[in-house]
C-alpha cells in the first residue's frame, strides 16, 4: 500500500511523477501529492485528497521541476486529509519526504528527540523528516549522514525518498521491507515502488535490498548497505509488454482481466507442458518437496483462498499433507511444524508484507520455500528458495480475478509434477493438460453468458444489504473467494460459508429476500448442499445456484460445463467474478479502484 515515485534530472519531472502515480494508484488512493524543484530556487508542493485525478486538477502549468517526488496514499495512521497527505516537510521548509511503510516507534522518536517540535499531521512519517532536519540543523551533520542516523533509529518498514532543498540535484533513497527500484533512463534517473509505473521512461532497473541507502543523481547511483559500505550492482532489462497494462477497449480492467482467463489457462499449459505433453517444473522444486513431510501454504486474501483449493488438489493428486495458513496469523502464532516442512507462498504481487514476515522466519530456520507469484524478481520471489510464475500478465484491477485462477492452475501443475516424480497413482492418471483445455473452453462459455449474471445481480443483489455464498468442500473454498469479490467492489457485507455450518448460528441472519448463492459441483455433497439451501428457502432467502452439468437441476441459475471435480473452482468462480462486477457497476461504484483498498499490501 502506498506508492512512491521519484525523478532526478528531467525537466518534465511533474509529468513523469503524475504519470507514474496514475499507474501506482492500485497501491492506494486515499490522497496523493508531489513535490518538484526546478533548481532555480523555485519549488512546488501540491497535495489532494482522493484519487490522482484530484491531484491533477490542482496542478497548474507553472508547477515544473527537474527533480521531484510523488506519493499516493493508503492511510494507516491518520485519516485521509491534506495535512496527512505526503510529501511531508520539515518545519524550516528545507526537507521534503515521501514514505511507504509503517514506523512502529514514531511516538517514542517524537518523545525522545522532538518534544519541542510542532507537528502538522497525525502520520508516522512526519517524525522522520523533522528528525533529519534536527540532526542537520542542530547537530551539524550532512544530509546523507543525518538520514542514515535516522534510519538506524527506526523500528518499522519503509521506502523513503528525501529531497534537500539546499541540494536539489540529489535524491536520497532508502528501503527496508517496502518495495523500491531504481530506474535508469536516457539522461535522467527515476525510482519507483513498482517497475510498471516507469515503463514509459525505461525498462532498465536496479534492485534494492533491505537496509540499503542510495544517493541518486541525474547520471549516477551509489548504493550503500547498512554498514555504510558501498555496494556495486548492475541494472537488468525488464522484458514486459507495456500494452498489457492498458485496458484497451474495455470499460474496466476487471472485465478485461475476467475475459483474459481462458487465454491465461492456455498460456500456463504452454509454459508448463512440453510439446510432448510432459509436465515441466524445475526438478529442484519437485525434489525438495518430495523430500519434505508436509507442505505449509501461506497467503492472504484472494491468494489464501487459492491456497485452500491448492491444498485439495495437492493432497489428492500428490498424496502429500498440506496445511493452509493466513499469513498475518502464521507470522506471530505458528502451529507446531512437522519435522521437514516445505513452504509455499502465494502472492500475486510478490510483495505482501504479511507473507514476507513469515518467509523471513522460514529462512532463518533454513526451511525450503517456493513463491508462486505473477511478478518476476518481486521480493518474495527473490527471498524464497524457488519461484514459479503465474504468467497471467499484469493484473491492474484491485479485485483479483485472473491471478486467482492462475494460482490454482499453477498449483495443479505442481501437484502433477510431484505425482509424476513420486509415481503417485491418482496424479499420474490425471490428464491435467486436457483438463486445462476443457477449463479454458468452459471459461469462454461462461464469460459469453455475461448478460445472465447482470440480470441476476439486478434482480437479487443490487439493492441487497448483505448476502451469502455457500458450498461444501472445494465449493466452500470458492464461496469464500466469491464473497470476498462481492465485498471488495460492491460493499455488500457478504460471507462465504460452509453450507453445513450455516445452521450452527449464522442462519439467524436469513430473512425475507436475503440473497444466498449456492455452489453445487460435486455429486458427493450435492444433495446435502441442496438440503441446506432448502433450509434458507424456508426462511425466505432469495436463492441462486451455480451448478455443474453433472449435478444440475433445471431450476439452477447457471449451469457450468463439466470438468474434473478438482478443477471446478476455475469455472465456478467466473460467475461470481461477473456477479461482483455487475453489482458494483449497478450500485454505481468504482469497479477497478474500490474504496479503502490497495492492491499490493506492503504493511502488516
**Residues annotated as catalytic (active site), given as ranges:** 2, 599
Locate cell 502506498: which residue? 2
* Closest CB to a copy of itself among residues 205, 330: 330
Taking the complex as a whole, the smallest distance from the CB of residue 479 to a copy of itself amounts, in Å, to 11
Taking the complex as a whole, the smallest distance from the CB of residue 595 to a copy of itself amounts, in Å, to 6
380 near a copy of itself, rule: CB under 8 A? no
Q: Which of residues 576-595 bind a copy of itself (CB under 8 A)?
A: 594-595
Of 56, 503, 550, 587, the residue at the interface with a copy of itself (CB under 8 A) is 503
82 near a copy of itself, rule: CB under 8 A? no
332 near a copy of itself, rule: CB under 8 A? yes
Taking the complex as a whole, the smallest distance from the CB of residue 596 to a copy of itself amounts, in Å, to 5
Scanning 4-12, 19-27, 108-116, 330-338 for contacts with a copy of itself by CB under 8 A, the matching segment is 330-338
CA pair distance 266, 525, nearest whole angstrom:
30
257 near a copy of itself, rule: CB under 8 A? no
Q: Which of residues 417-436 bind a copy of itself (CB under 8 A)?
A: none
312 near a copy of itself, rule: CB under 8 A? yes
List C-alpha distances in Å: 488 to 230, 445, 509, 590, 598. Answer: 44, 25, 21, 11, 11
List C-alpha distances in Å: 540 to 486, 502, 533. Answer: 21, 15, 11
Contact (Cβ atoms closer than 8 angstroms) between residue 172 and residue 160: yes
Of 78, 211, 557, 561, the residue at the interface with a copy of itself (CB under 8 A) is 78
Taking the complex as a whole, the smallest distance from the CB of residue 483 to a copy of itself amounts, in Å, to 9
133: CB partners within 8 A, 6+ apart: 90, 91, 92, 94, 95
539 near a copy of itself, rule: CB under 8 A? yes
Length of the chain: 604
Contact (Cβ atoms closer than 8 angstroms) between residue 350 and residue 380: yes
501 near a copy of itself, rule: CB under 8 A? yes
DSSP code per residue over 318-365: H---EEEEEHHHHHHS-----SSEEEEEEESSS--HHHHHHHHHHHHH
List C-alpha distances in Å: 62 to 37, 42, 65, 96, 171. Answer: 11, 10, 9, 19, 22
Taking the complex as a whole, the smallest distance from the CB of residue 173 to a copy of itself amounts, in Å, to 25
| 402 Cα distance to chain centroid | 12
* Closest CB to a copy of itself among residues 184, 358: 358
Total binding residues for a copy of itself by CB under 8 A?
79
- Taking each helix axis from N to C terminus, what angle separates 106-113 and 126-133, rounded to the nearest 10 degrees? 30
Q: Is 91 exposed, middle or buried (0-12, 13-18, 19+ CB in 10 A)?
A: middle
Q: Is 428 left (phi over 0), alpha (psi -120 to 50) or beta?
A: alpha
* Closest CB to a copy of itself among residues 181, 258: 258
484 near a copy of itself, rule: CB under 8 A? yes
CA pair distance 318, 162, nearest whole angstrom:
51
Taking the complex as a whole, the smallest distance from the CB of residue 9 to a copy of itself amounts, in Å, to 35
597 near a copy of itself, rule: CB under 8 A? yes
Scanning 56-64, 160-168, 280-288, 309-317 for contacts with a copy of itself by CB under 8 A, the matching segment is 309-317
Name the nearest CA neighbour of 378 among 343, 341, 353. 353
Of 251, 277, 321, 513, the residue at the interface with a copy of itself (CB under 8 A) is 321
Taking the complex as a whole, the smallest distance from the CB of residue 239 to a copy of itself amounts, in Å, to 30
513 near a copy of itself, rule: CB under 8 A? no
Amino acid at each position: 500500500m502506498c506508492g512512491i515515485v521519484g525523478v532526478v534530472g528531467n525537466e518534465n519531472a511533474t509529468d513523469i511523477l503524475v504519470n507514474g502515480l496514475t499507474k501506482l494508484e492500485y497501491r492506494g488512493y486515499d490522497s496523493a501529492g508531489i513535490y518538484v524543484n526546478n533548481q532555480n530556487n523555485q519549488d512546488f508542493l501540491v497535495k489532494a485528497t482522493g484519487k490522482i485525478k484530484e491531484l491533477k486538477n490542482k496542478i497548474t502549468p507553472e508547477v515544473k521541476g527537474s527533480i521531484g517526488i510523488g506519493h499516493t496514499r493508503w492511510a494507516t495512521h491518520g485519516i485521509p486529509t491534506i495535512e496527512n497527505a505526503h510529501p511531508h516537510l520539515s518545519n524550516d521548509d528545507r526537507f521534503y519526504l515521501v514514505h511507504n511503510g509503517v514506523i512502529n516507534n514514531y511516538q517514542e522518536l517524537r518523545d525522545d528527540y522532538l518534544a519541542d517540535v510542532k507537528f502538522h499531521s497525525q502520520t508516522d512519517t512526519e517524525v522522520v523528516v523533522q528528525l533529519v532536519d534536527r540532526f542537520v540543523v542542530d547537530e551539524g551533520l550532512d544530509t546523507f549522514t543525518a538520514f542514515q542516523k535516522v534510519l538506524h533509529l527506526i523500528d518499522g518498514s519503509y521506502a523513503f525518498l528525501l529531497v534537500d532543498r539546499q541540494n536539489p540535484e540529489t535524491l536520497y533513497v532508502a528501503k527496508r521491507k517496502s518495495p523500491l527500484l531504481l530506474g535508469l533512463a536516457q539522461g535522467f534517473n527515476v525510482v519507483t515502488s513498482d517497475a510498471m509505473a516507469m515503463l514509459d521512461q525505461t525498462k532498465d532497473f536496479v534492485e534494492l535490498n533491505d537496509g540499503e541507502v542510495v544517493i541518486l543523481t541525474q547520471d549516477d547511483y551509489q548504493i550503500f548497505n547498512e554498514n555504510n559500505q558501498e555496494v556495486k550492482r548492475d541494472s537488468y532489462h525488464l522484458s514486459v509488454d507495456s500494452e498489457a497494462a492498458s485496458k484497451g477497449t474495455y470499460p474496466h480492467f476487471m472485465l478485461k482481466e475476467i475475459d483474459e482467463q481462458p487465454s491465461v489457462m492456455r498460456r500456463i499449459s504452454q509454459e508448463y507442458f512440453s510439446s510432448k505433453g510432459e509436465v515441466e517444473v524445475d526438478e529442484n522444486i519437485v525434489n525438495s518437496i518430495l523430500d519434505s513431510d508436509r507442505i505449509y501454504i501461506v497467503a492472504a486474501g484472494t491468494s489464501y483462498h487459492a491456497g485452500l483449493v491448492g491444498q485439495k488438489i495437492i493432497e489428492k493428486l500428490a498424496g502429500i499433507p498440506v496445511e493452509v495458513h493466513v499469513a498475518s496469523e502464521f507470522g506471530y502464532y505458528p502451529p507446531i511444524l512437522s519435522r521437514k516442512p516445505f513452504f509455499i507462498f502465494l502472492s500475486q504481487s510478490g510483495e505482501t508484507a504479511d507473507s514476507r514476515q513469515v518467509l523471513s522466519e522460514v529462512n532463518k530456520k533454513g526451511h525450503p520455500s517456493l513463491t508462486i507469484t505473477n511478478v518476476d524478481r518481486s521480493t518474495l520471489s527473490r527471498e524464497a528458495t524457488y519461484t514459479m510464475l503465474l504468467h497471467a500478465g499484469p493484473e491492474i484491477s484491485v479485485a483479483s480475478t485472473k491471478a486467482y485462477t492462475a494460482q490454482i492452475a499453477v498449483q495443479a501443475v505442481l501437484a502433477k509434477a510431484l505425482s509424476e516424480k513420486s509415481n503417485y497413482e491418482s496424479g499420474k492418471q490425471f490428464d491435467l493438460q486436457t483438463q486445462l483445455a476443457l477449463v479454458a473452453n468452459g471459461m469462454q462459455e461462461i464469460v459469453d453468458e455475461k448478460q445472465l449474471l447482470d440480470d441476476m445481480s439486478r434482480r437479487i443483489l443490487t439493492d441487497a444489504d448483505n448476502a451469502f455464498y455457500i458450498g461444501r468442500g472445494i465449493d466452500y473454498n470458492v464461496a469464500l473467494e466469491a464473497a470476498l469479490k462481492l465485498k471488495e467492489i460492491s460493499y455488500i457485507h457478504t460471507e462465504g460459508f460452509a453450507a453445513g455450518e450455516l445452521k450452527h448460528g449464522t442462519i439467524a441472519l436469513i430473512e425475507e429476500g436475503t440473497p444466498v448463492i449456492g455452489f453445487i459441483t460435486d455429486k458427493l455433497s450435492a444433495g446435502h448442499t441442496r438440503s441446506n439451501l432448502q433450509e434458507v428457502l424456508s426462511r425466505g432467502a432469495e436463492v441462486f445456484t451455480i451448478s455443474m452439468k453433472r449435478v444440475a437441476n433445471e431450476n439452477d441459475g447457471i449451469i457450468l460445463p463439466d470438468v474434473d471435480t478438482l478443477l471446478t473452482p476455475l469455472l465456478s468462480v467466473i460467475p461470481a467474478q461477473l456477479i461482483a462486477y455487475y453489482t458494483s457497476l449497478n450500485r454505481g461504484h468504482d469497479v477497478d479502484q474500490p474504496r479503502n483498498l490497495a492492491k499490493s499490501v506492503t504493511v502488516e
